[in-house]
Amino acid sequence: MVHQASDRIDAVAFIVQSWLDEGGCTLFCGDWRNGAIMELLPSASARLSPPRYAGDFAGLRDLRVDDGAHHVHLDLARLSRACYLIAPSVCYGMRPSYELRLVAEGRDPMREFGLGLSVRSPYVGGRVNVEVVSRYLARVVDHIEAFPDVTTFRCLRDATATGGEAGWEELERIVDGDRLLTPLSAAMRASPGIPS
């Protein structure tokens, strides 16, 4: 169990670094309601800096993109929750997007997240990229088990949205076909918008 602030910072840093180590992710932030979303598509290595400060600034990290000058400043003491999210995306024709959103305590991960990371290529040739999505789902389970005080999971399927049904059906087949993903199957069906 994660109790102290430093443990929470280390947990979130580990989760973010695991995404960066995997590669093939998109970094994003912003809110369409405000008119813009920023996306970074690292083409090479992206990495999280080690801790540099103590006290009030212990959570500060730089997320460096492509070994260059481009970077994102993160305060992992504030962004203390790692919220995994599967939700319809207009970018994918309302098929699922596979994301991680870093959120401050008490904030809504749908609207008030600090930084998001998403699987960059969840679809290949119009079908779910089973290998990539399976790795994402396994990471969700691993991080929930390792860091239950920090990690949450939500699956929001909009039953009223048109399009994307095949992506959702393929996701359900992947989850139902792997006994290691059983915890997600129950959580997906208990989430808002998922039919029982």
Count of alpha carbons within 13 angstroms of residue 185, beta-carbon side: 13
**pLDDT per position as a tens digit, 9-62:** 999 999 999 999 988 899 999 887 888 989 988 877 788 999 999 888 999 999
Between strands 123-124 and 127-128, the pairing is antiparallel
Instruction: Tell me the C-alpha distance between 161 and 173, whole Å.
Output: 20
pTM value > 0.85? yes
Alpha-carbon dihedral sign for residues 12, 16, 19, 25: positive
Residue 116: both structure tokens together: 């998001």
End-to-end distance of the chain based on CA atoms, in angstroms?
A: 31
CATH, domain range 5-190 = 3.40.1570.20
Strand residues in the chain grouped as ranges (E): 25-31, 36-40, 46-48, 60-65, 71-75, 81-89, 95-103, 113-119, 123-124, 127-128, 151-155
Does residue 68 register a pLDDT over 80?
A: no
Going from the C-alpha of 2 to that of each of 7, 93, 146, the distances in angstroms are 6, 38, 9
Domain assignments of the chain as residue spans, ordered by start: 5-190
69 pLDDT band, cuts 50/70/90, is: confident
Fill in the DSSP letter of residue 94.
T
